[in-house]
Amino acid sequence: MSDLPHFGSNFLWGVSTAAYQIEGAVDEDGRGRSIWDEFSHSPGRTKDGDTGDVACDHYHRYRDDVALLADLGVDAYRFSISWPRIQPDGVTVEPRGLDFYDRLVDALLERGIEPSATLFHWDSPQALEASGGWENRDIAERFAQYAHVVGERLADRVTRWFTLNETVVFTLLGHGNGIHAPGKELGFGALQVAWHQLLAHGRAVQALRAAGASQVGPANNHTQVRPVDDSDETRDAAHLFDLVYNRAFLDPILLGTWPLAGIVDPVAHDGDLGVIAQPIDFLGVNSYNPQYIAAAAPGGEVPFDQVVPDGFELNDFGWPIIPEGFTQMLVGLKETYGDALPPILITENGGAFNEAPGPDGRVRDQRRIDYTAAHLAALRGAMDAGVDVRGYFHWSLMDNFEWAEGYSQRFGMTYVDYATQQRIPKDSFAWYRSLIAAQHGR
Residue 289 is assigned to a ligand binding site: no
Task: Give backbone dihedrals phi and psi of 184, rounded to 5 degrees, phi first.
Answer: -90, 150
Residue 206 is assigned to a ligand binding site: no
- 59-65: long-range contacts at Cβ-Cβ below 8 A with a sequence spacing of 24 or more? 59/23, 59/24, 59/25, 59/28, 59/100, 60/24, 60/25, 61/421, 62/100, 62/103, 62/104, 62/107, 63/107, 64/423, 65/22, 65/397, 65/398, 65/423
Residue 83 is assigned to a ligand binding site: no
Residue 418 is assigned to a ligand binding site: no
The structure's pTM equals 0.98
Reported confidence tier of residue 36, pLDDT bands at 50, 70, 90: very high
> What's the mean pLDDT in 150-154?
98
pLDDT tens for each residue of 85-129: 999 999 999 999 999 999 999 999 999 999 999 999 999 999 999
Secondary structure E strands in 81-235: 114-120, 160-165, 216-221, 225-227
Is residue 348 part of the annotated active site? The answer reads: yes
Residue 258 is assigned to a ligand binding site: no
- Structural domains of the chain sorted by starting position, each given as residue range(s) with its CATH number in brackets: 12-439 (3.20.20.80)
Q: Let me know how long the chain is.
A: 442
> What's the mean pLDDT in 211-228?
98
> Which element (helix H / strand E) includes 334?
helix 323-337
Which residue among the candidates 135, 166, 233, 355 is catalytic per the annotation?
A: 166
27 CB-near residues (< 8 Å, 6+ apart)? none
Alpha carbon distances (Å) from 161 to 10, 156, 192: 19, 12, 25
Which of these, 221, 170, 215, 222, lies nearest to 196 by C-alpha position? Answer: 170
Secondary structure E strands in 275-404: 283-286, 291-294, 305-307, 344-348, 389-395
pLDDT tens for each residue of 289-303: 999 999 998 887 889
pLDDT tens for each residue of 164-216: 999 999 999 999 999 999 999 999 999 999 999 999 999 999 999 999 999 99
Task: Give backbone dihedrals phi and psi of 78, rounded to 5 degrees, phi first.
Answer: -95, 115
Residue 165 is assigned to a ligand binding site: yes
Is residue 23 part of the annotated active site? The answer reads: no
Does 252 score more than 80 pLDDT? yes
Give the span between the Cα atoms of 400 and 406, in whole angstroms. 8
Which residue among the candidates 233, 348, 355, 405 is catalytic per the annotation?
A: 348
